[in-house]
Amino acid sequence: MNNAFEEVLDDYFFSKSLRPATEWSYRKVVRSFMSYTGDGISPEQVDKKLVLTWRRKIIQEDGLSRITWNNKVTHMRAIFNHVINNGLVSMRENPFNGVITRPDVKRKKTLTDVQMNKIYLYMEAREQDERLGLMGAKNALRPVWFWFTVLDTLRRTGMRQNQLLHICLEDVNFEHWWINLRPEGAKNHKEHRVPITESLRPRLERLYNLSLERGAKMQDQLFNVARFDGRKNQVSSNMDHPPLRAFFRRLSRECGFAVSPHRFRHTIATNLMRLPDRNLKMAQDLLGHSTPAVTLEYVESDLDKVRDMLEELDTA
């Protein structure tokens, strides 16, 4: 990144109170812009035509989604609003105004029962391999017991991956069976708790106790694979924490379909709303959403029920 944009970002971050993960996302977007324009360009030289040609490349040539483009625009527009309002450039109109595109709305991705069974059967087999010493030295799935705990936690709580990465040992209460999710890990910056189920507890307790044995303090990150794979201990608040991404990338490849933290989140929301006593407020509280409308966006329609209803109409 060139010095001009580096100085602009530093000034922007100094004027705001952003989370480290948010600052990281801004830098990532600016680096993307620099890779297109070249490091020699300054904020003063950015105009609407350049922004539109970048949009064409992102959407039409690179094949990225309109949602991805709109996310980039949101970040860049905020940066240029800052430099314009503070007189750091002579331009008066933000070149990133009016370039948002209408996103394609795709159905929410959930995991079927068959897919969930395949994931667990695969992980159980790798866990057995690990006990027998059959796992290779370099493998994104190692240690399997640790990643199985990550998987189980996401599946049985519906928390976001960034919330998982922010959990400290002191946030886990085994006496009252809950995990406290910190506001800095949530998109809406709100703190809330999720229950620990009997199915989740054994793996979570093992991770907790082994972390203490490895010298972890109560204020340290719980889900830190570096404690157990021999690498230098590093605590990351970055939602794109590389080991987590590598694990899900490898798991998806092995299973033959996409597996991600957010798919578990959509799945648990959909399954909750399929229960006989569908409780929207309960699903909202579990996912930590501010409004029921947001929760409903996570719920995939039950086609079997829709089909039954249509067949009833046909026979009426």
Confidence check: pLDDT of 287 > 90: no
Confidence category of residue 156, pLDDT binned at 50, 70, 90? very high
Tokens 């796992």 correspond to what residue?
135
User: What's residue 186's pLDDT?
Assistant: 82
Q: Say if 93 falls within a structural domain.
A: no
Same domain, 118 and 218: yes
Same domain, 81 and 117: no
Q: Comparing C-alpha atoms, which of 142, 206, 204 is closest to residue 179?
A: 204
Q: Tens digit of pLDDT for each residue in 211-234?
A: 999 999 999 999 998 888 765 544
User: 315 and 125 in contact (C-beta within 8 Å)?
Assistant: no
User: 37 and 50 in contact (C-beta within 8 Å)?
Assistant: yes
Same domain, 128 and 219: yes
Same domain, 154 and 74: no
Length of the chain: 316
Same domain, 62 and 131: no
Torsions phi, psi of 99, nearest 5? -115, 10
Q: Say if 205 falls within a structural domain.
A: yes
131-140, 189-198, 259-268: lowest mean pLDDT where? 131-140
Q: Tens digit of pLDDT for each residue in 89-139?
A: 999 999 999 999 987 766 668 899 999 999 999 999 999 999 988 877 678
Q: Say if 291 falls within a structural domain.
A: yes
Q: Supply the Cα-derived Rg of the chain in whole angstroms.
A: 23
pTM higher than 0.95 for the full model? no
Strand partners, 168: 221
Q: Say if 72 falls within a structural domain.
A: yes
Question: What is the overall mean pLDDT for the chain?
Answer: 87
Same domain, 78 and 133: no
User: What's residue 249's pLDDT?
Assistant: 94
User: What's residue 282's pLDDT?
Assistant: 78
Q: Say if 187 falls within a structural domain.
A: yes
Give me the DSSP letters along 192-242. Answer: EEEEPPTTTHHHHHHHHHHHHHTT--TTSBSS-GGGTSSSPP-----TT-H
Same domain, 74 and 152: no
Same domain, 143 and 274: yes
Q: Which amino acid is at 209?
A: N
Q: Tens digit of pLDDT for each residue in 17-71?
A: 887 878 888 999 999 999 999 878 899 999 999 999 999 999 999 998 888 999 9
User: 155 and 268 in contact (C-beta within 8 Å)?
Assistant: yes
Same domain, 194 and 271: yes
Same domain, 215 and 262: yes
Can you give the CATH number for the domain in which 271 is found? 1.10.443.10
Q: Say if 306 falls within a structural domain.
A: no
User: What's residue 239's pLDDT?
Assistant: 38
Per DSSP, helices labelled H in 86-235 are: 113-131, 144-157, 161-165, 201-213
User: 156 and 169 in contact (C-beta within 8 Å)?
Assistant: no
Distance of alpha carbon 148 from alpha carbon 197, whole angstroms: 15
User: 269 and 164 in contact (C-beta within 8 Å)?
Assistant: no
Q: Say if 99 falls within a structural domain.
A: no
Q: Comparing C-alpha atoms, which of 40, 28, 38 is closest to residue 79?
A: 28
Query: Per the structure, how many domains does the chain have?
Result: 2
Token representation of residue 241: 């924490």
Structural domain boundaries enclosing 17: 3-85
Same domain, 38 and 152: no
User: 248 and 260 in contact (C-beta within 8 Å)?
Assistant: yes
Would you tell me the crossing angle of helices 3-15 and 66-85 to the nearest 10 degrees?
A: 80
Same domain, 37 and 173: no
Confidence category of residue 256, pLDDT binned at 50, 70, 90? very high
Distance of alpha carbon 73 from alpha carbon 97, whole angstroms: 8
Strands (DSSP E) found in the chain: 172-173, 178-181, 192-195
Distance of alpha carbon 116 from alpha carbon 39, whole angstroms: 45
Strand partners, 178: 173, 195
Q: Say if 35 falls within a structural domain.
A: yes
